[in-house]
Amino acid sequence: MEATDVKVLVVDDDPAVGKVLGKLLAQEGVDSVHVPSAAGALAELARAYFDLVITDLKMPGMDGLELLRAVRGSYPETPVVLITAYGTVPDAVEAMKAGALDFILKPFERDDILRVVRDTVTVGRALGEDASVAGPEGGQELVEESPRMRHALAPLRKAAPGNTTVLLRGESGVGKDVAAHLLHDLSGRRQGPFIKIHCAGIPETLLESELFGTKKGAASGAIDRPGRVELAAGGTLFLDEIGDLTPAMQLKLLELLEPPHTFQRLGDTKPQHADVRIVAATHRDLESRIRSGEFREDLFYRLNVIPVWIPPLRERREEIPGLVAKLCMKFAANAGRRGLRFAPDAVELLGAQPWQGNVRQLKNFVERLTILSDGPVITRGEVEGELGRQVAPEAPPASAPGAGAAHGAPSAALEEQRSEAEKVAIARALDRARGNKSIAARILGISRRTLYNKMHLYGMLPPVRESSKPLADAEDWRDS
């Protein structure tokens, strides 16, 4: 496992399939655990963290689709791939609408499985980065107690009944993901799917196939597979971190946004109509990126029909007590500690903090304290202790047009020092957590996905290796 630090949970009632997949993954240095049932899978997920779940569709008792829905509900950051000998395109559409990141058929080729593992872990980490911010409850964590927030969301509420494109802007972690869910819940498309894709951190070719789907034969091992645009038909397509799109993908998205709103699967020549509402989000200064030639001006105007600026948490501090109470109740219930609460002076201290990581940082901080505290009340002293161990995040970007422009970009030397400090902090946290990355992430006040991405960035987490060597000692097995 340490060779790649990727761990896969294989769920199949046929022990031969579990054995073959286990050997295949082991040859690539990927650790795996095989269980014969969905119940066993849920027990393993409750006990340990997995980067990916590969599950058979047809199983006795709870089937793969039911397991998929259970995983998406309890572990939204964990990607799931369905695999079966009975697959059809309708099955794939239903599975992917339920949240599967891929769907492959038995008998499978070695390279197909490794491609799926590699691509799904890559996409899953990107999609999962903000998965826990909104949660399955949609916009329920978006507290609107401040006049500033009510004013910010007024255009969103007015735009919700129509199909106009909305662009959500603001710093990382302010709740753009939650605002997108709120828009969908208030719209006439609320009964349709809400499909999200994180545009940053996914390679261009992979992002294109994720968005638009693939036609069988488009590439080695490619099958007819719907993309996110297709899966969002009748609902909302949320494009997060739109400012990080490459020029080529910007052009393809522009074609989708312009009438008659068509797209093509990768490798196909037949255009399809897109019945989706586009909601985009970014923390980037798009106007600056337009001036530097990094972002298309015509795409900006297509996206920026209804701009909604979400203010940073430090500008709506009156929401913090409500957020803390709600988050504490949620995490305490998950930990079996119902009734746990923050002392009033502890909440007061939290309300005075800058929270440069915004709601996401506060959320991680509250979760960590609900796990690590001992008594029935989280005290001010415990809050002070955890604040002293916080890793300082980088300075936030501008939260509104023109803000912070005078300071300029940090020098290369300063950036290098910040990166080195992050590496040291991560190493210390891992040491304190004895290598447990979930605990290390809580110590650092960041999500597990952020920790994995930073470790990969700093060369602390090698990627899954590509290989074309044949499967050794793989035994024949019957399709289940």
Give the integer Cα–Cα distance in Å for 43 and 11.
Answer: 12
- The letter for the amino acid at 91 is D
Token reading at 343: 């002392």
How far from 375 is each of 336, 342, 343, CA to CA, in Å?
13, 10, 11
Give the integer Cα–Cα distance in Å for 448 and 440.
Answer: 8
Per-residue pLDDT tens over the stretch 337-376: 888 999 999 999 999 999 998 998 999 899 889 988 888 9
Beta strands at 341-342 and 7-11: parallel, antiparallel or unpaired: unpaired
Beta-bridged to residue 217, according to DSSP, are: none
Tell me the pLDDT of the chain averaged across its residues. Answer: 80
pLDDT of residue 399: 44
Give the integer Cα–Cα distance in Å for 153 and 179.
Answer: 8
Give the integer Cα–Cα distance in Å for 174 and 231.
Answer: 27
Task: Count how many residues are written for the chain.
Answer: 480
pLDDT of residue 417: 66
pLDDT of residue 343: 94
462 contacts 3 by C-beta, under 8 angstroms:
yes
Tell me if residue 139 falls in helix, strand or coil: helix
Give the integer Cα–Cα distance in Å for 142 and 149.
Answer: 9
Nearest residue to 444 (alpha-carbon basis) of 363, 364, 377? 364
pLDDT of residue 224: 76
pLDDT of residue 144: 56
70 contacts 86 by C-beta, under 8 angstroms:
no
Domains and CATH numbers, the chain: 7-128 (3.40.50.2300), 132-311 (3.40.50.300), 315-399+411-457 (1.10.8.60)
DSSP run (H or E) holding 83: strand 80-84
pLDDT of residue 410: 42
On the CB side of 357, how many CA atoms lie within 13 Å of its CA?
Answer: 18
pLDDT of residue 469: 42
79 contacts 121 by C-beta, under 8 angstroms:
yes
Nearest residue to 289 (alpha-carbon basis) of 169, 373, 392, 192? 169
Give the integer Cα–Cα distance in Å for 340 and 371.
Answer: 10
pLDDT of residue 475: 36
How far from 26 is each of 21, 22, 82, 234, 465, CA to CA, in Å?
8, 6, 20, 42, 12
The dihedral built from the CA positions of residue 426, 432, 436 and 442, taken in this order, carries a sign that is: negative
Strands (E) located in 300-357:
306-309, 341-342
Q: Which residues of the chain, if any, have pLDDT below 50? A: 1-3, 128-140, 393-399, 401-411, 463-480
Measured in whole angstroms, how far is the alpha carbon of residue 13 from the centre of its chain? 29
